[in-house]
């Protein structure tokens, strides 16, 4: 498994398995399947409501904990230093582990300054091997980072062939922050699986559109966490080490970038939706 070294020296797999929208009932099975086909990076979050399933899977999978790279994220309803610290301990309990490899603030809302201080404390106490952010853009990213001691090791953003995050990649480079792509297959939209440009490239190598799209991201130095509940697709997404995209292929795909995002975190309506998300979607409330 290809890895990348984060700004604090921690090695992180370049390709992982994400469990967004994987139901709590299916999560354990899906994560066990993902680990069995070779994934070692598993990405979850408090707001996915399936940390228990991930924890059950990693405790049963037979792979030593130090060979797995586990990511979770602190949700808005747990914002603030004290609340976030408490929620981090709850996540560790659900995940059946003493530490996570990467701990992120999920959204740039609420008292995320206090939340980040809790992340820094967790990092110093060994509860997280690396910390970072998710969905922080532009000035908000810079403002937080410039006022915190530990620079984020990772920034997770919507990133795929149709939105390649070139501006943010340049911005975070100054801090040594690694880009991690959520929705690396555009969540199956915009005809990504039938796109003729990707298909023409894939046909040269006997690869699918999804495999080409993921290979492109890795070649650009971007960590990707595709999600599937089907074991055969999990395996297919992982099977991209046996071919190389030419520089011509890479330039062709770079031209597919529209810069348009599916989720606008500067939209007030989106902010209200996310702030109330836990109240509306938490199956335990």
Query: Where residue 284 falls among pLDDT bands split at 50, 70, 90?
Result: low
91, 112, 114, 239 from 80: Cα distances, Å: 16, 6, 4, 41
Residues 6+ apart with CB under 8 A from 104: 45, 71, 72, 73, 74, 119, 131, 132, 133, 134, 154, 156
Cα–Cα dist 271/52, whole Å: 27
Structure confidence at residue 282 (pLDDT): 64
Q: What is the DSSP string of 256-282?
A: T-----S--TT-HHHHHHHHTHHHHH-
| C-alpha dihedral sign at 125, 1, 220, 186 | negative
pLDDT reading at 43 higher than 90: yes
Residue with tokens 């007030």, as numbered in its chain = 268
154, 165, 230, 275 from 237: Cα distances, Å: 22, 21, 11, 33
Cα–Cα dist 130/177, whole Å: 11
Cα–Cα dist 254/270, whole Å: 28
Query: Where residue 281 falls among pLDDT bands split at 50, 70, 90?
Result: low
CATH classification of the domain holding 70: 3.20.20.100
Range of the domain at 139: 3-281
Please name which of 31, 28, 52, 49 lies closest in space to residue 40, comparing C-alpha atoms. 31
Cα–Cα dist 124/280, whole Å: 34
* Radius of gyration in angstroms for the set of CA atoms belonging to the chain, rounded to a whole number: 18
Catalytic: which of 17, 48, 49, 116? 48
Count of structural domains, the chain: 1
pLDDT reading at 280 higher than 80: no
Token duo for residue 3? 């890895």
Cα–Cα dist 30/35, whole Å: 9
Record the pTM.
Answer: 0.95
Token duo for residue 230? 């089907």
Token duo for residue 275? 């702030």
Please name which of 84, 64, 57 lies closest in space to residue 73, comparing C-alpha atoms. 84
Kindly report the average pLDDT of the chain as a whole number: 95
DSSP code of residue 189: -
- Predicted confidence (pLDDT) per residue in 78-111, tens digit: 999 999 999 999 999 999 999 999 999 999 999 9
Q: Point out the least confidently predicted range of 10-14, 170-174, 188-192, 227-231.
A: 188-192
Q: Is 106 annotated as a binding residue?
A: yes
Active site residue 113: no
DSSP code of residue 177: P
């Amino acid at each position: 498994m290809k890895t990348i070294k984060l700004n604090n020296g921690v090695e992180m797999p370049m390709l992982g398995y994400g469990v967004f929208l994987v139901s709590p009932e299916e999560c354990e099975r899906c994560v066990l399947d993902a680990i069995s086909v070779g994934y070692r990076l598993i990405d979850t979050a408090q707001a996915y409501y399936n940390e228990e399933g991930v924890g059950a899977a990693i405790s049963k999978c037979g792979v030593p904990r130090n060979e797995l790279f586990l990511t979770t994220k602190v949700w808005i309803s747990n914002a603030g230093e004290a609340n976030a610290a408490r929620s981090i301990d709850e996540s560790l309990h659900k995940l059946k582990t003493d530490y996570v490899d990467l701990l992120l603030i999920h959204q740039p809302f609420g008292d995320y300054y206090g939340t980040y201080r809790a992340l820094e404390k967790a990092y110093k106490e060994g509860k997280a091997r690396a910390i970072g952010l998710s969905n922080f853009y532009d000035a908000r990213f810079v403002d937080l980072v410039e006022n915190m001691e530990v620079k984020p090791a990772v920034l997770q953003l919507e990133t795929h062939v149709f939105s390649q995050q070139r501006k943010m990649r340049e911005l975070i480079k100054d801090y040594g922050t690694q880009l991690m792509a959520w929705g690396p297959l555009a969540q199956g939209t915009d005809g990504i699986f039938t796109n003729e440009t990707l298909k023409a490239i894939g046909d040269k190598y006997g690869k699918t559109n999804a495999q080409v799209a993921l290979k492109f991201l890795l070649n650009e130095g971007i960590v990707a966490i595709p999600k599937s509940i089907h074991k055969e697709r999990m395996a297919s997404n992982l099977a991209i080490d046996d071919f190389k995209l030419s520089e011509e292929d890479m330039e062709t795909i770079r031209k597919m970038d529209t810069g348009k995002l599916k989720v606008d975190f500067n939209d007030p309506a989106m902010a209200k939706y996310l702030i109330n998300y836990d109240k509306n979607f938490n199956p335990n409330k």
